[in-house]
Structure 1
Amino acid sequence: METYQGKGSRNRILSNEQKDQINEYALRLMEEIGCKVLCNEALDILDSAGCDVTDPDRVKISRQLVMEAIEAAPKTIDVFDRDGKLAMQLAEDSCYYGTGSDCPTTIDPYSGQRRPCTKEDVRRLVRFCDALPNIDFVMSFGIANDAPEGTSFVHQYEAMLLNTQKPIIVTGHGRNDMMAMIEMCAAALGGMEELKTRPPLILYSEPLSPLVHTEMGIGKGLVCCEYGIPFIYIGSPMMGATAPATLEAALVQAIAESLSGLVIFQEKQPGAKFIFGGDATVMDMNTSIFSYGAPELNILNGALADMAHFYGLPFFCIAGATDSKVLDVQAGLEYGMSIYNATLNGCNIIHDCGYLESGLTSSFESVLFADEVIGMIKYMLRPLDFNDETVPFELMERVGPGGNFLVEEHTAEHFRRTFWFPRFLDRKIYEMWETDGSKDLRAVLNERSKSIFEGHTPKELPEKAVKAIREIVANHRPDTKTS
């Protein structure tokens, strides 16, 4: 898969002076205001590190501990596919794109109906994403609403693990879920050592904004520390609700939420594969939603990416998502703007591509459209290469002013590898478009998505591995301690 390497094309939001200023604010927030810690193991870790944990509602972390944790964290994280091949190298400005998780509803590509998502929908959505060239990793893109209570995340991972070779980012209730998924992944790979050496699994977890580290959020990450699994730990401050109503304060808070978690994890296991970030945006004051299409989100993505590069930490962000309920002009605007900006900003893991309805709904068509947008943006940001072949001076002299390059051999040789050819966007003249049925983009995407899904068969795991995975799922018991 082609990876966009953005060196030299980066968009910088913050000046060096602002980065120093923001870092100082974040350090002060952790040192003077502190955070609430609702995980006993995390409290013990912080106590051993020299923090005063007498009041778990206000645990204060020194700047020295924060800077030591940043120093201990890996600056490059390698993520593999199910076959053990390097699939993503999270470092510097490399960009990888994928879906989001846990949509409660989906739009059925055959009936067009919006309905509650099931485990079968997760299986179909992941199998579909396995076929898309610009989707580098997958998340569940749906909730297994029909799974036994408290077990949906493990059932979702089963559906993902059996239907894609791509790296998988998981969510979960707590430690039991995480252990079950680690055991399932090890069964797929042939053993725990293979998993530790070439992990195709990443955990997504988060604190509770503002500045609360829960057992549910921290516990899963502590399990990952023990098994060498990469994990994302980021806050989702919502301006005007769970963060002050300014971009600057939301940025500082998001950094403090992620870095205070980093301290806990690096104290647990120096070198733990921690991925920094923040999903910060506004609470829309008219609807109370967490807005995925807001320009504020794009600004904060860029600023957080700058701070990730400042710290030298791999970075995770939102892009390719919309607040629109359907794939319409609003969705196109919000997908395009956010993916383009996230790529320019050098975000390493760009997730939620294909989200509709502020992350509540998934569809085949929306992720297929996002895949097309990603391909276009990758093309737009490729570096130019000036040489005698790309600037054929002798040919230009021979054809001369007023000439025509259409019949030249150079054109035949170069246009296929130089031009970007859309797979789904329309460039027909009106009469040809009318003859072909006057289909709008949504109709085209619906037809093509069904064709792709029906024509793709993911690589199967050995029957022994499948049996072991299903036994783990059948025997799984939900977490009881997830506060």
Structure 2
Amino acid sequence: MNAQSPRRSGGRSARRAARAAPLAQDIRPIRAGMEGGQYKPLTDSDMMRIHETALDALEQIGLADAPQSGIDILTAAGALLGEDGRLRFPRALVEDMLAKACKTISLASRDGTHDLQLSGNRVHFGTAGAAVHMVDIDTEDYRDSTIQDLHDAARIADQLDNIHFLQRPMVARDIKDNKEMDLNTIYACCSGTTKHVGVSFTEPSFVPDALEMLHMIAGGEDAWRARPFVSNTNCFVVPPMKFATESCEVMEACIQGGMPILLLSAGMAGATAPSTIAGAIVQATAECLAGIVYVNAISPGHPAICGTWPFGLDLRSGAMSVGSGEQALLSAGCAQMHKFYGLPGGAAAGASDSKLPDMQAGWEQMCSNVMAGLSGLNMVYEAAGMHASLLGFCHESLILGDDLIGQALRSVRGIEVDEETLALEQIRDVCLNGPGHYLGTDSTLSRMQKDHVYPTLGDRTSPKEWAELGKPNLLEKAKSRKEQILSQASAARFSPDLDQALRARFKIHLPH
């Protein structure tokens, strides 16, 4: 027996090593762009009523505070400027612009290997937000977020298979000048990941320098326009039903510069949006439809993501709540409205009200991520790492979120039913000719990788094995994984010549 043990152990070790190796794309059980759409909290009648009510809101109430450039663009397209200064949108205008709107968007990655195709029920998970704090899991304290934290988040996201894009998840609070902060945000994100990046700009006058930086990174303006690997996250409205004047001017400049736009409406149900789920969806839909009109009046067919991001409140206290069941329903309902219009869309899911990566965070993050994925939401923003109702970001939680999203994506994939998966012949062979179980059969072994998602850090050992391994702690494993990623040079780093040119042209705050 002892003589045979090494052979068994060696075989087991070899099998474990093979299972740990990256899977070929054709046998991966989950991937970016998987088809959701199985979950539909709204009926067809519900969606039609939301649509008609949103059109009523645009036609009868309209939006205030457009910049003069926006007034000129929208009235030339057919919007009506009232004596009260509000722009109202006739139904026919909205319908005409929906017909012109881009229905399929390709969000480019810098290296061409992580492009995202946004259409139908294709689902992608990523980060987002403007957290102002970092969560320290060792001290359980919150501190100001920095440009180094942002760069590290990009480097970590670059190594996580289930994080498909990086929208800036935090603000670099150590950079006081807003223009320098915006430019350094591009630098920190793009030098940390080659996946698609989303950023915001504080003022329209910052956009030309940002585009110059992106042209340098891309290798020229033509190369940038052919494959814009950074999109503009644009809070073009201030709910309820007002344009954000400067953000609209930023949007106009970004469209001219060839940058994809996320039209972001982020009302809070019970404060800046109706407290009912249906009412919050109506307002977000109306506001984003106004954005669709705006974008297509400037440039018909320009890539614009319908960013209906209504958030919830705890109405007992007025505190923002992003981890509730109501939040999950808001985002899933918004996903259905994107499909109603045939528009690529995004909403927030996967964030937590919990201050730490604990059990509360786990149930909140999984609930909304699964529901968003099952609803077929194209872009699931805030999907990993975000805590304290969007105030705090945690690198370790980002890493744990990769495992969590893996399980969510497996739920999205669903159940395949065909002759092979029904397995009648396998049942016959095992029961009549075989050992009476399916362990180690050719059928089981051939499908173990393509059918099953295995957690990277999640623990499935027995209590005895867990004790023998030193009782590993999930947060400790995430911290170790973070340290391992950050100990290596970023695969997305710029060439020395490009980096030198960027630093000569712009004030870069990250150290070499």
Q: How far apart are the structure 2 equivalents of 1:399 and 1:155?
A: 61
Which of 357, 360, 373 is matched with 2:388 structurally? 357
| Native 8 Å contact 2:156 2:399 kept in 1 | no
SS in 1 for 2:347: strand
What is the CA distance between 1:74 and its match in structure 2? 0.5
The corresponding residue for 2:176 is 148
SS in 1 for 2:247: helix
| Native 8 Å contact 1:228 1:273 kept in 2 | no
For normalisation by structure 1, the TM-score amounts to 0.92
Output the amino acid matched with 1:357: A
Is the aligned partner of 1:122 residue 2:153?
A: no
Q: How far apart are the structure 2 equivalents of 1:413 and 1:71?
A: 47
Q: How far apart are the structure 1 equivalents of 2:225 and 2:324?
A: 38
Q: How far apart are the structure 2 equivalents of 1:304 and 1:345?
A: 9
For normalisation by structure 2, the TM-score amounts to 0.87
Is the aligned partner of 1:274 residue 2:274?
A: no
* Stretch of structure 1 that moved more, 112-121 or 191-200: 112-121
The corresponding residue for 1:63 is 91
Is the aligned partner of 1:373 residue 2:401?
A: no
The corresponding residue for 2:22 is none
Q: How far apart are the structure 1 equivalents of 2:436 and 2:114?
A: 48
Is the aligned partner of 1:429 residue 2:462?
A: yes
What is the CA distance between 1:170 and its match in structure 2? 0.6
Which of 414, 433, 451 is matched with 2:484 structurally? 451
Is the aligned partner of 1:204 residue 2:233?
A: yes
Q: What is the CA deviation profile of residues 356-411 of structure 1, one whole-angstrom value per residue up to 9, with x for unaligned ones?
A: 11111111111111111111122233254455654554453333267133343443
Q: How far apart are the structure 1 equivalents of 2:483 and 2:144?
A: 20
CA distance 1:146–1:475, shift in 2 (3 Å):
closer
What is the CA distance between 1:463 and its match in structure 2? 3.0
Q: What is the CA deviation profile of residues 248-287 of structure 1, one whole-angstrom value per residue up to 9, with x for unaligned ones?
A: 2211111111111221221111112111131112222344
Percent of pairs with identical residues:
27
| Native 8 Å contact 1:320 1:334 kept in 2 | yes
| Native 8 Å contact 2:372 2:380 kept in 1 | yes
Q: How far apart are the structure 1 equivalents of 2:356 and 2:504?
A: 38
What is the CA distance between 1:82 and its match in structure 2? 0.7
The corresponding residue for 2:318 is 288
Q: How far apart are the structure 2 equivalents of 1:465 and 1:406?
A: 54
* Stretch of structure 1 that moved more, 117-126 or 145-154: 145-154
| Native 8 Å contact 1:78 1:86 kept in 2 | no
The corresponding residue for 1:440 is 473
The corresponding residue for 2:16 is none
Is the aligned partner of 1:172 residue 2:172?
A: no
Q: How far apart are the structure 1 equivalents of 2:304 and 2:254?
A: 10
Which of 430, 438, 441 is matched with 1:408 structurally? 441
What is the CA distance between 1:203 and its match in structure 2? 1.0
Which of 204, 212, 217 is matched with 1:188 structurally? 217
Matches within 5 A, 1:384-423: 384-386=415-417, 389-390=420-421, 393-400=424-431, 403-423=436-456
> Where does structure 2 lack aligned partners over 5 or more consecutive residues?
1-24, 26-30
Output the amino acid matched with 1:182: L
| Native 8 Å contact 1:11 1:345 kept in 2 | yes
Matches within 5 A, 1:75-86: 75-85=103-113
The corresponding residue for 1:249 is 279
SS in 1 for 2:106: strand
Which of 162, 166, 175 is matched with 1:134 structurally? 162
Output the amino acid matched with 1:281: F
Q: How far apart are the structure 2 equivalents of 1:282 and 1:459?
A: 36
| Native 8 Å contact 1:323 1:356 kept in 2 | yes
* Stretch of structure 1 that moved more, 20-29 or 77-86: 77-86
